[in-house]
Amino acid sequence: MWRLEDIITAAKGTVLKKDREVFTGISTDSRTIRDGELFIPIVGKSFDGHTFIEQALEISRGGTLCRNDHPVSLADASGTVILVEDTNQSLLDIARFKRESLSGTFISITGSNGKTTTKEILAGMLKKKFHVHHNEKNLNNLIGVPLSILAITGEPDACILELGTNMPGEIKKLATTTDPDIALITNVNPSHLEGLESLDGILEEKLDLFRYTRPHGKILVNIDDPGIAARYRQTSHTAITFAIENDAYYRLRVIRDLGWEGSVISIISPVGTIEARTSLLGRHNFYNLLAAATTASVMGVDHALIAQAIEEFSSYDNRLQPIESSRGFIIIDDTYNANPSSMQWAVRTLSDLPSNGKKAAVLGGMKELGKDSAFYHREMGKFLKNMKDIGLIALFGDETADTFSEVGNTRAVHFNDKGQLIEYLRSHLNSGDTVLIKGSRAFKMEEIVEALK
């Protein structure tokens, strides 16, 4: 329940019309709003939620926020009307108000890669001891994060929130809203360059999470990431480091490589050792496991329970998922998304895994790289050229023409027609082969996976 006076305080609003003083919840979607809820009309580049105020009030008969300067006639509205300066900001402010009412530990996670996987692994670890809330899937933007906070019921011991960004200033807003007790940056790599412009721009944006962590909070630092390692001391927070390559408070090493079955890992720290078998493939997932285990250990979860959670966690949602096709070749489905770093990690994983036949990489383009798109696609081509054990390289989309020019037509093929690419793969993949399929969401590479199953 939300009291009108709390909404006014949080959103810095003024009442235009008062029909109701208590709201059953908050909604930003006029299609799913329920009786008694307060509607917050979100404004985006190509839509304006104010258009749906009357529809929302007709269903909920609760109330609505409305921007001061918006030309909407609400004199006959069937609900309370609150005027605010910016409805999008009000959503963040109301979520911050809710966050301040909760006494549990708030953990915020950002980074170029591994945010969602780290969050999901960590949730499994913390649930061994605590009542945990975390944002669903990757609802990590300026709308999804506040809605995740507003969805909290009861009093969780821990709240894990993944924060995403593609424009400067977004992490600052999200960190101010979540006000974390513990902050984690997984890594800083080329991604969302269209909005953040440069690797340094990405680093600056991500570091805002550390800057806006609670004064007596803790920051968890991937000391193997050179950008983070060079800058994390700029805040006065208690820093806890983790690494694979460098000395750190928590350090992971691989005890045994089990091929397709995963690995046995050990995480060593002054407060104890965690040894577990993981089914996750890829070196980058070691960092996700290490980051989550470090956080759980800092939260006081017994190391035996952390190990148990590691062993229970498996790949999901098109993230390096092995699938055996009906024709006997193995598909590694990594179609969730792609940027230069994750693309290289996936290809390295393919290279490291055993195969009874040839290894093939089917790669779509990488979006949101801005003016550096051609450069990073060419760099990917140079990288692929050196991966001598990848016998077949099939590239898809306009952007990968730059990749193809670097690899050359003796080892690679290039398609702009997905149907033609699928037919080519059907005629060139045999039983025993292993094929990695990956690309940015825009290319819908999962359609190729479905066609080859």
Complete DSSP assignment for 285-307: HHHHHHHHHHHHHHTT--HHHHH
Separation of alpha carbons 1 and 10, rounded Å: 15
pLDDT tens across the length of the chain (453 residues)? 999 999 999 999 999 999 999 999 999 999 999 999 999 999 999 999 999 999 999 999 999 999 998 866 777 778 999 999 999 999 999 999 999 999 999 999 999 999 999 999 999 999 999 999 999 877 899 999 999 999 999 999 999 999 999 899 999 999 999 999 999 999 998 887 778 889 999 999 999 999 999 999 999 999 999 999 999 999 999 999 999 999 999 999 999 999 999 999 999 999 999 999 999 999 999 999 999 999 999 999 999 999 999 999 999 889 999 999 999 999 999 999 999 999 999 999 999 999 999 999 999 999 999 999 999 999 999 999 999 999 999 999 999 999 999 999 889 999 999 999 999 999 999 999 999 999 999 999 999 999 999
Q: Are 121 and 289 in contact (CB under 8 A)?
A: yes
pLDDT reported for residue 398: 96
Separation of alpha carbons 152 and 125, rounded Å: 19
pLDDT reported for residue 382: 97
Strand partners, 15: 82
Complete DSSP assignment for 214-238: -TT-EEEEETTSHHHHHHGGGS-SE
Rounded-to-10 torsion of CA 207, 113, 144, 70: 60
Q: Are 67 and 83 in contact (CB under 8 A)?
A: yes
- CA nearest neighbour of 253 among 289, 302, 297: 289
Separation of alpha carbons 301 and 299, rounded Å: 6
Tallying the residues shown for the chain, one arrives at 453
∠ CA 42-43-49 to the nearest 5 degrees? 60
| Token output for 83 | 């005027």
Separation of alpha carbons 354 and 143, rounded Å: 43
Residue 347 per-residue DSSP state: H
Q: Are 83 and 23 in contact (CB under 8 A)?
A: no
Kindly report the pTM of this predicted structure: 0.94
3-class DSSP state of 253: strand
Complete DSSP assignment for 174-218: HHHHH--SEEEE----S--HHHH-SHHHHHHHHHHHHHTS-TT-E
Separation of alpha carbons 240 and 226, rounded Å: 16
Q: What share of the chain is helix, strand, coil (3-state, %, to 5)?
A: 40, 25, 40
∠ CA 145-148-152 to the nearest 5 degrees? 145
Q: Quick one: how far is CA 155 from the chain centroid?
A: 25
Q: Are 168 and 177 in contact (CB under 8 A)?
A: no
Domains belonging to the chain, first-starting first, are 2-87 (3.40.1390.10), 102-312 (3.40.1190.10), 321-452 (3.90.190.20)
| Token output for 273 | 């050792």
Backbone angles phi, psi at 93, to 5 degrees: -65, -40
3-class DSSP state of 378: helix
Number of alpha carbons in the 13 Å side-chain half-sphere of residue 164 = 18
Burial grade of 219 (CB within 10 A; 0-12, 13-18, 19 or more) = buried
3-class DSSP state of 26: strand
pLDDT reported for residue 155: 96
pLDDT reported for residue 72: 67
Q: Are 103 and 81 in contact (CB under 8 A)?
A: no
